[in-house]
Amino acid sequence: MVFASTSSQLIEPTALGLYCAAGDFYIDPWRRVDRALVTHAHSDHARPGMSSYLTAQSGVGVLRERVGDQAKIEGISFGKELKIGDVSVSFHPAGHLLGSGQIRVEHKGEVWVVTGDYKNAPDASCEAFTPVRCHTLITESTFGLPVYKWPAPEVVFAEINRWWRRNQAEGRTSVLFAYALGKAQRVLCGIDPEIGPIGVHGAVDRMLPHYRSAGRPIPPTVKADADSKELLKGKGIIIAPGSAQNTPWIRKFAPYSLAFASGWMQVRGPRRRRALDQGFVLSDHVDWQGILDTIDASQAQRIGVTHGYAAPLIRWLKEERGLEAYEVPTRFVGESQEESDSEKEAKDS
């Protein structure tokens, strides 16, 4: 059965964020609101200062790390329905990071799904993406161009392991930059801990208890600092946010080889600008084909596109698929242009 297009606007973009009037709540708002439904804990989706938050149960811990200990946060199990106003709401795994969820909203038989950030590649560090059928799908398009086609994760991890072994043989510390929440934990679950000691930057370290308590296979790690530098130098791998590059902290572990794990490594520019020795194509966002597969699986006939290469994807969906497609803005005139987590991942986090 194909879900037919409808004419109503159950979820609309506003100056505060995506708003559902029937439930009187916002999804990933970027200004203070009374009720925020949060897809995941990255800073461009989860901002401090909301009166209340609702997120997937397994993401409560990392969300609290981002918005503060005093925040009013309610967790809900994946798949459980909750009545808010006149709508039914449920969260479904998005595969982006621990506790990341697509948000399904149903009102009078009409179903909308907001994906948030997502990927459908296998990842031991978080819950696997689950397609959700709907009438209208609002999808991210961070890497919404055909040039973005991800290699198999096991191939990338084998490349990382070979790079680590080569550096170890040459007496260099392997420093791998990765986004501190999500990507870093995915890397930790994918590399071979038998090669040598594993160090983590403090920004990565504070997220690990949440992953370990959720039963994710994080290997033993040490905090990379002055006390552990002799253990790590020339033998270990250190996972750190990109902001650690060119800081006094990193110089403790010289000589080192620098690499970055990101979907942006698919093209040469970001690697060249960062003066990296190695780039690994590993993204926690879906690639072009993954977006198309997700749209097919949803059976939606109306597609909202946000966060990224919206215009090319919209044009393709209209011309090649005959779908109703439109852009869902995430910034409005007068709004500060805060960087998305994908932009930070490419530059300095």
State pLDDT tens for residues 307-331.
889 999 999 999 999 999 999 987 6
- Amino acid identity at 67: V
Question: Which is nearest to 123 in space by CA: 92, 160, 97, 162?
Answer: 97
β-pair type (302-308, 324-327)? parallel
- pTM (global) more than 0.85: yes
- Two structure tokens written together for 265: 């490594």
pLDDT tens profile 128-185 = 999 999 999 999 999 999 999 999 999 999 999 999 999 999 999 999 999 999 999 9
Rounded to whole angstroms, how far apart are CA atoms 7 and 102? 22
Residue 80 in contact with residue 17, Cβ under 8 Å?
A: no
Give me the DSSP letters along 25-90.
EEES-SS--S-EE-S--STTT--TT-S-EEEEGGGHHHHHHHH-TTS-EEEE-TT--EEETTEEEE
Cα–Cα distance, 163 to 159 (Å, whole number): 6
Q: Which pLDDT score, from 0 to 100, does residue 275 have?
A: 76
Q: What is the mean pLDDT of the chain?
A: 92
| DSSP 8-state secondary structure symbol assigned to residue 289 | H
Q: What is the pLDDT of residue 4?
A: 44
Place of tokens 């037919």: 4
Q: Which residues are bridge partners to 113 per DSSP? A: 104, 137
For 222, the 3-state DSSP assignment is strand
Q: Phi and psi dihedrals of 195, rounded to 5?
A: -70, -40
Average pLDDT over residues 267-296: 88
Query: What mean pLDDT do residues 298-314 have?
Result: 95
Q: Under a CB-based contact definition with an 8 Å cutoff, are residues 38 and 45 in contact?
A: yes
Sign of the dihedral defined by the CA atoms of residues 327, 331, 333, 339, in that order: negative
Q: How confident is the model at residue 26 (pLDDT cuts 50, 70, 90)?
A: very high
